Amino acid sequence: MTQTTPTVLSLISEGRPLIDVRAPVEFAQGALPGAVNLPLMVDEERRQVGIAYKKHGQAAAIELGERLVSGEIKQARIAAWQAYLAEHPDALIYCFRGGLRSQIAQRWLAEAGISRPRLEGGWKTMRQALCGRIDAAALQPMLVIAGLTGCAKTTLINQLDNGVDLEAYAHHKGSAFGRRPEEPATQINFEHALAKRLIGLPEGLVIEDESRHIGHANIPLNFWRGLQQAPRIRIEMPLDWRLAQIQQDYIIDLEQAYTARYGSDQGWQLMQAQLSNALIRLGKRLGNARLQRLQRLQTLAFKAHAQGNPQAHEAWLAPLLTEYYDPLYRYHLDKQRDTAPPEIHVGDWDSCLAAARQWNR
């Protein structure tokens, strides 16, 4: 029993539970949205079977696999599937190509009295469909939200029903200071999360102005080209307003995220290391003298923060904006002025939100 490919995108958009029986190393490189990894073979077992396949062919590989995954090990794998299906009885099974591994899992479950479908074509067909959705979206109308660092572009995007938050799918905010406590998304997982969001958005898309590289992920080329041709709305807000946004994003929210994940003591230390290392990564562009000055201000801010004054970070955030990020943004804006797409609105945050909503009507 298989699930036919025309329903692939609807399965993803509905959040259908999926059992990925590939090895953990495959799952870590990129999974399907909604999938849990309950492998038929663990990494070492898969490695040994792969060697047998290359040296002696499929029959020998299957025989070795049956020996490796037998007895108590086999029963433990089946029990894991049964437990998940007890909680998610509508889950589907898949492997890489919808072939041998998912068929074996399906057969073993059937022998245990559970009948579940598998995905025809497996992970590969699903991925092709998801990547195809991204390429199709590159042809949809797009609107780009631009503006200096701290203009709350992401917040505006998330106010819109048709907003596409690329930073969320990358698990990374779009600057050197944007690393989060959670693992950054792999390229595959970034693309799959983006595609899932796009499935339900057949009309115009509103997207933040980003470089092609976000964290560890790159925006797919066709989609990126569509963004480069899209009209823009540019937010303009005063420095004190932007500093408040930066303070919230990169200090308060970041501290909360780290402490929630690692506890107060370790979280505080890791948050300091993240901000310190981010400043160091900008060292070549900042120049040695400016870097050292900002590092001194940052160190003083950490001490004040530890004593209950997180507002002290403005001492290094303000010059970082005015001396580095703002001139860099304006340089790129001037450089692209003759070839850049039209700006259909320039104004404060509220007026840009209203203009973005009006554009989609």
Average pLDDT, the chain: 92
Lowest mean pLDDT among 123-127, 174-178, 229-233: 174-178
4 or 134, higher pLDDT: 134
In the residue annotation, 131 being an active-site residue is answered as no
**What's the pLDDT tens digit per position in 174-197?**
677 777 788 889 999 999 999 999
Q: Which of 95, 131, 151, 352 is catalytic?
A: 95
**What's the pLDDT tens digit per position in 256-291?**
999 999 999 999 999 999 999 999 999 989 999 999
Res 7: pLDDT: 66
**What's the pLDDT tens digit per position in 291-320?**
999 999 999 999 999 999 999 999 999 999
pLDDT cut 90: percent of the chain above it = 80
Q: Is the pLDDT of residue 338 over 80?
A: no
For residue 251, give the nearest of 299, 319, 311 by alpha carbon: 311
- Mean per-residue pLDDT, 321-336: 87
Res 68: pLDDT: 95
Q: Per the structure block, which two tokens stand in for 116? A: 């579940």
Q: Residues with Cβ < 8 Å from 207, sequence gap 6 or more?
A: 142, 143, 144, 145, 157, 163, 164, 166, 227, 230
- Mean per-residue pLDDT, 109-121: 93
- Is residue 141 within 8 A of residue 205, CB to CB? The reply is yes
pTM greater than 0.95:
no
- Mean per-residue pLDDT, 106-131: 94
- What phi-psi label fits residue 22: left (phi over 0), alpha (psi between -120 and 50 degrees) or beta? beta
Res 174: pLDDT: 64
For residue 262, give the nearest of 250, 270, 274 by alpha carbon: 270
Domain residue extents for the chain: 2-130, 138-361
Q: Residues with Cβ < 8 Å from 293, sequence gap 6 or more?
A: 319
Please give the angle made by the CA atoms of 10, 13 and 19, to the nearest 5 degrees: 85
- Mean per-residue pLDDT, 137-147: 96
Res 279: pLDDT: 93
Please give the angle made by the CA atoms of 157, 35 and 91, to the nearest 5 degrees: 120
Q: Per the structure block, which two tokens stand in for 271? A: 């948050």
Q: Is the pLDDT of residue 4 over 70?
A: no
Q: What is the DSSP letter of 340?
A: S
Q: Is the pLDDT of residue 3 over 80?
A: no
Res 340: pLDDT: 76
d(CA 105, CA 92): 11
Q: Is the pLDDT of residue 5 over 60?
A: no
Q: pLDDT band for 6, please (50, 70, 90 cuts).
A: very low
Q: pLDDT band for 169, please (50, 70, 90 cuts).
A: very high
Fold (CATH) for 2-130:
Oxidized Rhodanese; domain 1 (3.40.250)
- Mean per-residue pLDDT, 333-348: 84
